[in-house]
Amino acid sequence: MVAIILVNWHGADDTIACLESLLQVKDPHFVIIADNASQDDSADRIESWLKKNETKGFVSEYKLLRLDANYGFAVGNNKALKVAMQYNPDYCMLLNNDTEVEPDFLKRLLKYATDNPQYRVLSPCIRYYADKNKVWFSGGVLTYASRRGLYTNADVLNVPDAPFPISYLSGCALFFHSSVLNECNELLYNGFFFGEEDYEFALRMKKQDVKMMCVPQSVVYHKVGASQKNTNDSRGLGRSYMYYHNRLICVRLHCSVFKFNVIRLLTCVNCLRYFKAYTGSWSVAWKLIRHLVKDTTTKVGFSYTDFRSLMFDGDYFSFDTIK
């Protein structure tokens, strides 16, 4: 039995479309949807869909968790997993609510997992929903300073048919043996409201010598744009700052002090040029670098309050960032 976890926040259309695709999956599974206190009618719409479709398809059970606050991606998944483990699933899978799946995607993951139990974490091949012949992500490898995707943006004809080893994967579609949860308090790091949870997970799995594989014949489609444009606004800058911040926190949590300081130096050099191009000011860029160094020295995460302040309220920094 597989527990499939979805997290929803103001995304009923996507969540319901994902659930519709899961109706075609014949392998034994149940679905838990964690709603992060959506302030629209998302939870009600999902609940209505569940009542209409609870006897359809091959899903043994649906459960909607109405969380009392917006806990973000990591905590939302962790809370749902705690409920899922009460049903003693053999495997669990995190699945973004803005995905749709091929009917045999779970069958192929289960087949590989049961035939190769030494690989306890698997990734399907995640393709673009808007271009189903193009890879969005199919796993990657950890590098000294970060990670590198394999076959990212490649035509599917250029991806091997046979499974291949990886050391990094996306939380968008993360399949794992339930025993992985027995070796960690939480699957995803609770310190991040959003961003880089999968990188932290990969670093932690490496330390625990947990082996990973990509099973490319298992296919999931992700509703993201084939390209993302940088916009010259404070929210785009804030998003980039948050990702660099969280990435460095991951390194600090799992690497030596020396390695952390080397990687932070390299990151700051790269960020300085990026921040200058984004803000149009060397002075502001230097202020952002100093802020990044301070944050990644004193903080161990990025909270919901930080996220709101950075992305929406505009008061995370004590200075103007966009000229």
Decide: 97 and 176 in contact? Cβ < 8 Å: no
Q: What is the DSSP string of 133-180?
A: TBEEE--EEE-SSSEEESSTT-BGGGS-SS-EEESB--TTEEEEETHH
Task: From residue 204, give the alpha-carbon distance in Å to each of 12, 188, 211, 233, 250.
Answer: 32, 10, 11, 34, 9
pLDDT of residue 228: 42
- pLDDT at residue 163, as a whole number: 98
Task: Name residue 61's amino acid.
Answer: E
Cα(89)–Cα(160) distance, integer angstroms: 30
pLDDT at residue 109, as a whole number: 98
Bridge partners, 213 (sequence order): 122, 165
User: One-letter amino acid identity for 124?
Assistant: P
Token pair recorded at residue 43:
């939870």
pLDDT of residue 221: 98
pLDDT, position 230: 41
The pLDDT of residue 159: 95
Helix (H) or strand (E) holding 221: strand 211-222
| HSE-CB for 182 with a 13 A CA cutoff | 8
R_g of the chain computed on alpha carbons:
20
Q: What is the pLDDT of residue 322?
A: 56
Residues 2, 90 contacting (CB under 8 angstroms) = yes
- Predicted confidence at residue 232, as pLDDT, reads 44
pLDDT of residue 226: 36
Burial class (CB in 10 A: 0-12, 13-18, 19+), 68: exposed
Task: Report residue 192 CA to chain centroid gap.
Answer: 11
Q: Are 211 and 118 in contact (CB under 8 A)?
A: yes
At 236 the pLDDT is 81
Q: What was the pLDDT predicted at 224?
A: 86
Which pLDDT tens digits describe the chain residue by residue (323 residues)?
999 999 999 999 999 999 999 999 999 999 999 999 999 999 999 999 999 988 776 677 889 999 999 999 999 999 999 999 999 999 999 999 999 999 999 999 999 999 999 999 999 999 999 999 999 999 999 998 889 999 999 999 999 999 999 999 999 999 999 999 988 889 999 999 988 999 999 999 999 999 999 999 999 999 984 334 444 456 788 888 999 999 999 999 999 999 999 999 999 999 999 999 888 999 999 999 999 999 999 999 998 899 888 888 778 887 776 55
What was the pLDDT predicted at 231? Answer: 44
pLDDT of residue 235: 72
Q: Which two tokens stand for residue 299?
A: 């903080």
What is the DSSP pairing of strand 164-166 with strand 91-95?
unpaired
- pLDDT score, position 292: 95
Q: CA 197, CA 242: separation in Å to the nearest integer?
A: 12
Distance CA 18, CA 223 (A): 11
Cβ atoms of residues 15 and 100 within 8 Å: no
Alpha carbon distance 153, 136 (integer Å): 6
Provide CB contacts within 8 A for 13, sequence distance 6+: none
- Angle, vertex CA 154, rays to CA 149 and CA 159, nearest 5: 85
